[in-house]
Structure 1
């Protein structure tokens, strides 16, 4: 099993929390509250916040307090293209390395995602979505690529996409397609399903923004 330091564990907890919406964009992260929540000391929390600041998840001084970074929709198209490039490579690696135990674990995570949605717990669904993708990509054993993907995730509007009506249900179906391709050992199909999954969420968000009576201007799209 991979060894992870306390600060790495805290950082992953905060990444999941930010992507799931547990820690809202623009919210202030208080070190003592996080330390108490995780039953740890301030030091690993402070170091985790430094790491997340470098990745773009938070802004501010880790000593005086950090704030969850806002989204800038104007940059999301560039991030989308980078996500497709890197995440399809990770899925190809996963298809080459995946084991029966990995598939079983991914099925559990996919089920947790679908169950949270069915229960109306959107925050839990978004958290499960994060764990599903992170676990799938970790199978590729390409830690540098996964690290860059996590940096891209900090700049991507997952919260907004997963709040769209019916999006979580559609994402669950897309996860099933990705899993089916992995089970079949079809790297090409897994890569295509991953690309379509990423593009579908982004396009639904763009369509939602465009349908607003007064779509936000370029100057006001930082969320």
Structure 2
């Protein structure tokens, strides 16, 4: 992922966004600006601005002086979110496959290797982190920043943390990523869209069946 053109607050926001999706910052937990600034090694100002960005996306609630809280999960809204994810992420993937450089494809290969290693070890937290980086790397290449912004808003409302706890889900996710990567390497747009849709819907369908079962 090319971070050279990101502002300091955008880099901090990306760090926090990844941390929320990966579960490093659990739902309902408080984000304390001073602690985050010390953790990241920056001043409070970019942390404050980053939290405002994440509040606008829906990852956190209340960025006032009283502090921000990682937003909770809403089961009732997720079915629509899944459909929107498929639509918007398919758009990003289609644009990205036409623009991915050999360097970015090498990066995706490395990320896939990390996913498979983490899945083999049963390291759920690592799989979630690399899953985020894998998708973000593809979608950044699409060069459709407004579409990506809306996708991040959807991610903020999606239960990655709960889906990740399903039995053998990380192994299945690793396999689904392998299918996406194979389509990317082959520059096969139809195969990529099919693999992406399967990946997005599979986790939700598995979770929904267990959640309501």
Partner of 1:209: 211
Give the Cα separation in 2 of the matches to 1:23 and 1:193.
Answer: 29
Partner of 2:156: 154
Q: Equivalent residue of 2:68, what SS?
A: strand
The correspondence for 1:120, drawn from 115, 119, 122, is 122
The worse-fitting range, judged by mean Cα deviation, of 65-74 and 109-118 is 109-118
Alignment of 1:61 with 2:91, yes or no, is: no
Give the Cα separation in 2 of the matches to 1:138 and 1:66.
Answer: 27
Once superposed, what is the RMSD of the aligned Cα atoms? 1.1
How high is the TM-score relative to the length of structure 2?
0.96
Q: Equivalent residue of 1:53, what SS?
A: helix
Dislocated runs of 4+, deviation >6 Å:
none
Give the Cα separation in 1 of the matches to 2:24 and 2:211.
Answer: 23
Structure 1 residues without counterparts, runs of 5 or longer: 212-223
8 A Cα contact 1:19 1:126, kept in partner: yes
**1:120 CA drift (Å):** 3.0
8 A Cα contact 1:49 1:62, kept in partner: no
Q: Deviations over 1:96-135 (max 9, x none)?
A: 1122211110011111122222233221211111000000
Structure 2 residues without counterparts, runs of 5 or longer: none
How high is the TM-score relative to the length of structure 1?
0.92
State the aligned residue count.
Answer: 211
